[in-house]
Amino acid sequence: MKILSTAALLGLGAIGFGGWYKFNSLKPKTLREYLEWQGLKVDIEEDNTWTAILEENKGIANRAINKESLDISDVKKWCSEQLVKEDYGSVKEYASVLCVDNLKKVRSKIIQKYGKDRIDKLLKQDEDYKVAYVFRKHIVGFLSLIGHQPPTTSEDGEDNDNLEDAKIKFKEWCEGSLEKEVDESLVSNVLSLCTPKKFKTIKELVSQNGEELLTDPQYSSELNAKYEAIKNYDSWKAEKKGTLEEWCKEYEAQPFSDKDVFTKIYPKFRFRCVKTK
C-alpha cells in the first residue's frame, strides 16, 4: 500500500477547506439575504402593499410581534429589525410572509393596487346586490360564473327569476372570490361585477343618464300630449292609476331591487315619463 506524503495530505486539506469556505460564502448571512435567496421581493415602499400584507396575515403578525392591535408601522419596524439579523432561524417563517411582497389572495391584491377603500366600496347591502344583478344578468357568462340558473320565462312572458335566490348566489360568489388565490382575471371580474351601480331607483338612473322627466312643470304640454297618446291603450286602462303625472311620480321612486321593476315598470316608465331627446 502506497503511503501519501505529508505534502499530499496538506494539499487535500487545502482543497477541503476551500470547499468549506466556498459553501459558507454562498450561505445567506442575514435574514434579508435568506429571503432574497428564496426569490422573494423584500424592498417594499408602498403603504398599500404593507396594508395588504397585514390584512392577509393578521394572525401571524400578532404572534410574531406579540401585540394585539397592530398597524403597518408595527410591521415595518419589526421587519426592519429582523432583516439585518444573522441569527434568524426562529423568525424566518414569519418574515417570509410579513416582510415580502408575496400576496396570496384576491382581496389582498385589490388592496395593494387600489387601497383598502376599494374593498369597502364593493357590494355590501342586499338591495345593492339585487340592483347590480338585474343589470348584469344579461352579460354573457355572468349567470354561470355566479352559479345561478333562473327559471325559464313562462309562455306569457312572465319573468320567474327569484331575486332573493339570485342575490344569495351573487353574494356567495363575490365574497368567496375575495378569499381565493390571486388570479388577474378574477381580480378584474370582482372589481367590475361586485361594484354597486351608482343608482337604486328609476329616477336616479334617469338622472345619471342625463335625461329629464316629463313631470317637470316646463314639460307639462309634452306630458299632456303623451297622456292623450296612451289613454286608450289597454295597458293604460288596465292600471287605472289616475293621471299620467300621478303614475310617473309614484313609480319614479321604485327601486330596481323590487320584483318586476326592471322588467315591467321601467320600460313603461321610459316610454311614458322620460323626455325624448
Task: Please tell me the predicted confidence (pLDDT) of residue 157.
Answer: 56
Q: Are 215 and 274 in contact (CB under 8 A)?
A: no
- Per residue in 175-233, pLDDT (tens digit) is 999 999 999 999 999 999 999 999 999 999 999 999 999 999 999 999 999 999 999 99
User: For residue 159, with 0-12 CB atoms within 10 Å meaning exposed, 13-18 middle and 19 or more buried, which class applies?
Assistant: middle
- What is the CA 174 to chain-centroid distance, rounded? 7
Would you state the cell numbers that stand for residue 19, as one nine-digit string?
470547499
Cα gap 54→71, rounded to integer Å: 8
Give the alpha-carbon dihedral of 250, 255, 200, 129, to 10 degrees: 180
Could you identify the residue written with the cell 354561470?
Answer: 144
Query: Would the pTM count as exceeding 0.75?
Result: yes
Q: Are 175 and 123 in contact (CB under 8 A)?
A: no
Sequential pLDDT tens for the chain (277 residues): 444 444 443 454 544 554 444 445 567 999 999 999 999 999 999 999 999 999 999 999 999 999 889 999 999 999 999 999 999 999 999 999 999 999 999 999 999 999 999 999 999 999 999 999 999 999 999 999 999 998 876 655 567 899 999 999 999 999 999 999 999 999 999 999 999 999 999 999 999 999 999 999 999 999 999 999 999 998 898 886 789 999 999 999 999 999 999 999 999 999 999 999 8
Cα gap 272→248, rounded to integer Å: 8
Task: Please tell me the predicted confidence (pLDDT) of residue 1.
Answer: 40
Q: Are 87 and 163 in contact (CB under 8 A)?
A: no
Residues 6+ positions from 88 with CB-CB distance below 8 Å:
30, 31, 34, 82, 95
* Residues linked to residue 213 through DSSP beta bridges, in sequence order: 274
Task: Please tell me the predicted confidence (pLDDT) of residue 202.
Answer: 98
Task: Please tell me the predicted confidence (pLDDT) of residue 3.
Answer: 44
Residue type for position 81: E
Q: Are 202 and 266 in contact (CB under 8 A)?
A: yes
Task: Please report which residue ranges of the chain form alpha helices under DSSP H.
Answer: 6-26, 31-37, 47-56, 58-65, 72-83, 92-98, 106-114, 116-120, 126-136, 142-146, 163-178, 184-193, 202-208, 220-230, 234-239, 244-251, 266-273
Buried b (16+ CB within 10 A) or exposed e, 94-104: bbbbbbbbbbe
Could you identify the residue written with the cell 419589526?
Answer: 78
